[in-house]
Amino acid sequence: MREVHQYLGLGIAGVFLLLSLWGLFQWIRNTHPGSMYYRLLAVAQISLLAQVIVGVVMFMVERDGPVDPLHLVYGGFPLLVLIAAHKYSRKMEGLEWVAFALAGLFIFGLQLRGYMTGMA
């Protein structure tokens, strides 16, 4: 289960990096990223939720938390970032993807950092 958690975390980090680069590139070009962007965003969000659930189950079943307690912060904080991005995107009519692109960049960093603290 630990390997699933690790690889899922790295995969999620990669997807959020892709989303942020894609969204920022489209913002610079002043074009809409299209429906595939939102589909990938939905997959990323669901995967992130699954990652958190797997982490909580591991913590409860194995009763052995991560070496660094910051891992829990890096694992849970992306959910709050997504909630903030959803709230903020409602105010950005026509540029909703920009909020998710910026949030995706932040989540990428959190996921990568969470991976580093979990591997210690």
Mean pLDDT value across residues 98-113: 94
**CA atoms of 61 and 67, how far apart (whole Å):** 16
Q: What percent of the chain has pLDDT over 70?
A: 96
Contacts of 111 (CB under 8 A, 6+ apart): 9, 10, 12, 13, 16, 74, 78
Supply the pLDDT for residue 46.
95
Supply the pLDDT for residue 37.
95
Read off the pLDDT band of 107 (50, 70, 90).
very high
**CA atoms of 32 and 89, how far apart (whole Å):** 14
Q: State if pTM tops 0.85.
A: yes
Domain ranges of the chain: 2-119
Contact 71, 117 (CB under 8 A): yes
Supply the pLDDT for residue 67.
67
